[in-house]
């Protein structure tokens, strides 16, 4: 994974070292700082999930393919990400009034934005005919399922605060389920198939078309200047 999926690898290493080993030691050695440190590390973990989404994006729509300018006509990556981060921020403002916790509201909002991103990538890939190999498909479905269940857990917690233990259990089991899905998907290397020939050659055809039009336009200008 380190060589083929470095962003995913970074997320998993962080989850193991920071969210598991480091917090386990701190909880038993320095319990006084555990709550604050937990939320700080958790927020960084939530942000690192965008690395997994970027891993899905860059393998599904590689550079040089028709979708590598995925947004074939205007959905550039920065614009694409800005829209969903903006939606997440708006959702955070609404969630804060009910959760009364900046950290909890921010995690809920970013999870919502990330779930939309994963769903959008799957829909765009389906629409433009980009086939996903088992590796990337497993990453996308596993992450999407975890985020959806996580958001459902937030909803249960908001409906009834006494369901806090159920929320923790659901979240933990869904994360374990995501790891199991990723393990199955990445057990053997199955990358995305290369884009089909028509998609790769189409930009070249467009270039030829524009060159011909440009030559005709120059010829018309010469006739006007030198009749």
What pLDDT is recorded for position 13?
94
Write down the H helix ranges in 129-163: 134-159
The pLDDT of residue 70 is above 50: no
Q: Which two tokens stand for residue 92?
A: 């955070």
111-141 burial: b if 16+ Cβ within 10 Å, else e: bbbbbbbbebbbebbeebebebebbbbbbbb
Q: What angle do CA 57, 58, 60 make, to 5 degrees?
A: 65
Nearest C-alpha neighbor of 57 from the set 130, 112, 3, 107: 130
Contact 34, 25 (CB under 8 A): no
- Name the one residue in this structure whose structure tokens are 């806090």: 164
Domain boundaries, the chain: 6-195, 197-227
What is the spatial distance between Cα 38 and Cα 107, in angstroms, rounded to a whole number? 13
pLDDT grade, residue 82 (50/70/90)? Answer: low
pLDDT grade, residue 17 (50/70/90)? Answer: very high
Cα 198 versus chain centre, distance? 27
What is the spatial distance between Cα 109 and Cα 124, in angstroms, rounded to a whole number? 23
What pLDDT is recorded for position 163?
79
What is the spatial distance between Cα 145 and Cα 177, in angstroms, rounded to a whole number? 9
What pLDDT is recorded for position 211?
63
- Name the one residue in this structure whose structure tokens are 């969210």: 19
Contact 91, 112 (CB under 8 A): yes
Cα dist from 46 to 108, 174, 214, whole Å:
10, 15, 49
The pLDDT of residue 195 is above 80: no
What is the spatial distance between Cα 60 and Cα 125, in angstroms, rounded to a whole number? 7
36-45, 56-65, 84-93: lowest mean pLDDT where? 84-93
The pLDDT of residue 78 is above 70: no
109-159 pLDDT, tens digit per residue, is 888 889 988 988 898 888 877 888 899 999 999 999 999 998 888 877 777
Average pLDDT, the chain: 78
- Which residues, in sequence order, are CB contacts of 113 under 8 Å at separation 6+? 84, 85, 87, 88, 91
pLDDT grade, residue 197 (50/70/90)? Answer: very low
């Amino acid at each position: 994974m380190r060589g083929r999926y470095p962003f995913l690898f970074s997320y998993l290493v962080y989850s193991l070292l920071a969210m598991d080993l480091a917090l386990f030691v701190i909880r038993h050695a320095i319990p006084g700082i555990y709550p604050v440190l937990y939320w700080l590390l958790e927020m960084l973990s939530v942000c690192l999930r965008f690395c997994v989404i970027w891993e899905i994006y860059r393998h599904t729509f590689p550079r040089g393919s028709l979708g590598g300018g995925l947004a074939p006509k205007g959905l550039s990556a920065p614009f694409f990400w800005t829209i969903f981060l903006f939606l997440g921020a708006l959702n955070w403002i609404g969630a804060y009034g009910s959760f009364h916790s900046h950290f909890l509201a921010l995690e809920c909002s970013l999870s919502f934005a990330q779930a939309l991103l994963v769903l959008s990538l799957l829909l765009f890939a389906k629409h433009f005919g980009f086939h996903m190999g088992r590796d990337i498909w497993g990453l996308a479905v596993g992450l999407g399922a975890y985020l959806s269940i996580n958001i459902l857990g937030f909803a249960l917690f908001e409906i009834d605060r006494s369901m806090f233990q159920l929320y923790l259990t659901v979240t933990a089991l869904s994360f374990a389920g995501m790891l199991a899905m990723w393990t199955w998907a990445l057990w053997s290397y199955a990358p995305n198939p290369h884009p089909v020939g028509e998609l790769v050659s189409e930009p070249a055809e467009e270039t030829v078309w524009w060159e011909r039009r440009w030559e005709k336009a120059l010829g018309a200008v010469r006739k006007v200047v030198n009749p």
